[in-house]
Structure formats: structure tokens, C-alpha cells
Amino acid sequence: MQPLQPQSVNTQSDIELENIDLTLGNHASRVHVLNDISLKIQSGESVGIVGPSGSGKSTLLMVLAGLEKVDSGKVLISGERIDRMSEDQAAAFRGRNIGIVFQSFHLIPNMTALENVAVPLELAGREDAFVVAEQALQSVGLGHRLSHYPAALSGGEQQRVAIARALAPSPAILIADEPTGNLDTETGGQIADLLFAKQQEYGLTMVLVTHDPALAARCGREIQVRSGQIHAASVHAIQSRTDEDTVQAEAAQ
Ligand SMILES: Nc1ncnc2c1ncn2[C@@H]1O[C@H](COP(=O)(O)OP(=O)(O)O)[C@@H](O)[C@H]1O
Ligand SMILES: [Mg+2]
């Protein structure tokens, strides 16, 4: 049973986007990538973002991580205006608060799994970086792959390393852009299981961009983006998913 969110505590949203507008490209190739997007995500929520290719999903994630500047609007993460921070401030803030997982893993090829996971901890000045990195790898089932280089790991293992790296600094927020997109169905399912297990274990606020309807349906809420706008949103019954929920989620699309 999912414990009820205490209403009196933590009424502040973890993530709040207010009237976000962003146009990218120069004259002929200008694209209105995000068009008046407003969105609140509560602490501990899981949200799936779906929509056609080019609809602005990745850009939306980059905006909420402070990796892409907006033309107008506000981006608040745990009450802080990440859109107003300098690049260095945003990087330090991300280091403490936001873990990011990408479709293509983005591991550093000439570093071992352990070294990859230790990177953000070392950047944060943690003296126990390698101890924490090893624990993080054990917690994703890779305690036996510490000194392997990315090229010697399977896709699923590489994504586990990336998840360990994202979670090792204990962020409250995990964002993932197509985290199963480069994996076969079975491995993708295992990675999805791992993400949701970690979300539950740490009470993470999780935002996933995905093309996989089954993955989106596992999130507490699903948001459809079309041409840079929120086209539709639906709430899923989490923890008690049945075929009926899936049918309802599909009917809502
Ligand atoms: N730097 C850029 N310059 C111009 N257009 C861009 C730039 N980055 C993204 N876009 C355009 O913005 C739209 C949304 O891109 P993206 O967020 O990657 O979509 P999605 O992740 O939904 O596939 C696309 O049409 C893309 O071509
Ligand atoms: Mg994308």
C-alpha cells in the first residue's frame, strides 16, 4: 500500500514551471520549442512525459535541470529559481538536488564504473566519494563490476552505472530522458523496475521522458506534450496497477 502523502508537511512543490516560453534556432530555423508550459510536480511524485519526437520533451527536462535557459517564465526547484542561477550556481545546485539519466548512458569511456560513479561525489568535494560510489553500484546490482570500463559492460549494465552515478549524491529529484530507449524490451523492463524501486526506496521525485506507454503508465501521472505545449494529463493509480488502469490510461490518450 502506498502511504498517503502527509498534507500538512511539504506542501511546496519540488518542481514548478510557470509560463515557460522558449524559442531556439536562428531566423529561418526558429522553433517555438516550449510554449507557455506550466507544471507543478509534488515531492515524491513520479511523472511520465510522453509525446511525438520533436515535441519538446528533452528541452523541457533540460529547462527543469537548469541546463537550458528560458526566454520567459519561472523554473523553481525546491523553491529555488534555477533559471536565475549562473551556470556555476546551477551546476552546484544540480549536484546536490538533481540526478540525471540519459538514453545513451553518457558514461566517461576511459573511467571504470566505480570512477564514473565517483565523479559527481568528487566534484562535490566528498572525501568518501569512492566508498559511496561502491555502495551505489552495489545498490544497483553491480557490486561485481566496479573496475569494468563502460565498453566491457552491456547496455543494461551501463544504464545501471548511470543510475548509480545519478543517485550516489542522494538527490531528491531524478530526471531521465528515454532511459530505456537504447535497450531491448526485457532489459528496459529491468531498468524501469530499478528506477521505480529506487523512487520508492528514497521517496524520489521522478520525471521520466519516454516513448514506452508501459513505462509512462507506471508513473503516478502522465503528461502529453505536443508542439511545445501540454496537450493532456492523466493520473494513474500507482502501486495497484491492473489491466483496467492500463486500459483507462490508453483511453485517456
Ligand atoms: N538548439 C536548437 N536550435 C533549434 N531548434 C532546436 C534546438 N534544440 C531543439 N530544437 C528543436 O526543438 C524541438 C524540440 O526538441 P526536443 O526537445 O529535443 O524534442 P523531443 O525530445 O520531444 O524529441 C525540435 O523541433 C528540435 O528540432
Ligand atoms: Mg528527446
CATH of the domain at 233: 3.40.50.300
* pLDDT given for residue 233 in this prediction: 84
Separation between Cα atoms, residue 127 and residue 133, nearest integer Å: 11
pLDDT at 50 over 90: yes
Q: Which domain holds residue 207?
A: 44-66+87-251
In a domain, 165, yes or no: yes
57 ligand 1 Cβ < 6 A: yes
Please give the tally of structural domains in the chain: 1
24 ligand 1 Cβ < 6 A: yes
23 ligand 1 Cβ < 6 A: no
In a domain, 232, yes or no: yes
116 ligand 1 Cβ < 6 A: no
In a domain, 36, yes or no: no
* pLDDT given for residue 13 in this prediction: 62
Distance 223 CA to ligand 2 centre (A): 15
In a domain, 29, yes or no: no
Nearest to 220 by CA among 201, 244, 193, 196: 196
In a domain, 185, yes or no: yes
Q: Which CA distances in Å does 218 have to 195, 199, 207?
A: 11, 12, 12
SS3 content of the chain, % helix, strand, coil (to 5): 40, 25, 35
Q: What is the mean pLDDT of residues 62-83?
A: 96
In a domain, 18, yes or no: no
Q: Residue 5 — pLDDT band, cuts 50, 70, 90?
A: very low
pLDDT at 253 over 50: no
pTM of the predicted structure, to 2 decimals: 0.88
Would residue 50 be called left, alpha or beta, if left means φ above 0 and alpha means ψ between -120 and 50 degrees?
beta
Q: Which ligand is nearest to the CA of 63?
A: 1
In a domain, 7, yes or no: no
Q: Which atom of ligand 1 is nearest to the CA of 52?
A: 22
* pLDDT given for residue 232 in this prediction: 86
Q: What is the mean pLDDT of residues 41-70?
A: 96
Q: Which atom of ligand 1 is nearest to the CA of 209?
A: 21
111-166: per-residue pLDDT in tens?
999 999 999 999 999 999 999 999 999 999 999 999 999 999 999 999 999 999 99
Give percent above pLDDT 90 in the chain: 84
In a domain, 204, yes or no: yes
